[in-house]
Amino acid sequence: MTLRNFLIFGIVAILLAGCAGSSMYNYKVSTKPYTINGTTYYPMASANGFSETGMASWYGPDFHGKKTASGETYNKYAYTAAHKTLPFGTKVKVTNLDNGLSTTVVINDRGPFKSGRVIDLSYSAAKDISMIGTGTARVRIKTIGSTQSASTTTNQTTAKTTVKTTTKSDVVTTGEKYYVQVAAYSVRDNADKTVKQLSGMGYANALRQNNGKYVVVAGPYGTRARATTERDKLRKTYSGAFIVQ
């Protein structure tokens, strides 16, 4: 191999390595709800200041080369991840709470949908925080930015939302508030039963009608930290509970 060919080969290798570690995909952000296994999830319009603690898992080898929910092809060597509600293109710092190792990923897929898990990491990201062998790890995730510019986050759906207050003080207030969504139903009677159950547990709650679904939420809470505490408590009864705004 000549020196010139050797240099060209080296430059190409470096570029390919860079592509494996970052995502150049043009994500389209949507807040359109979706339903998995009877639970309806509502993707966030903004992830500013978001943090969450829970169990992480990682994609198995069979997913390599398959399409993700964002439309991007999954590459196990790229630094990407799946989350149930964070906007596509969100950059997230993931810290393994057992060993202190951290990595940064871009959200490009939906999941994981197994109870108790909050994020599904690519092979490379999981390797970075030493969880390949264990399969899962206790992590803290925190948003640190987005790959999207303001002009690429306008593809969002807006639905008229009505709220019925069911207990304690009026839960619909002005300013930034956080809620914990515990369930979503197609049948009103099922939602009313959950509202009654929450009331019996001492929670202020509301029944929201959104895109034909009856969504039951607890709250409001003035800070995400408080909402996170209540979400963790509610997950003992409602395993799929998650924070919404």
The pLDDT, as a whole number, for residue 193 is 87
N-term to C-term CA, the chain = 60
Q: Where are the domains of the chain?
A: 34-152, 162-244
pLDDT by residue (tens digit) across 133-183?
Answer: 999 999 999 999 876 543 333 333 333 333 333 333 223 333 457 889 998
pLDDT band at 20 (very low <50, low <70, confident <90, very high): very low
Reduced to 3 states (helix: H, G, I; strand: E, B; else coil), residue 244 is strand
* Distance (Å, whole) CA 226 – CA 38: 27
Question: SS3 for 70-109, per residue?
Answer: CCCECCCCCCEEECCCCCCCEEEEEEECCCCCEEEEEEEE
Evaluate if pTM is beyond 0.75.
no
Taking the domain 162-244, which CATH number applies? 3.30.70.1070
Query: What CATH number is given for 34-152 in this structure?
Result: 2.40.40.10
pLDDT digits (tens, 9 = 90+) for 187-240: 888 888 888 888 778 777 777 877 778 888 887 787 888 889 999 989 888 888
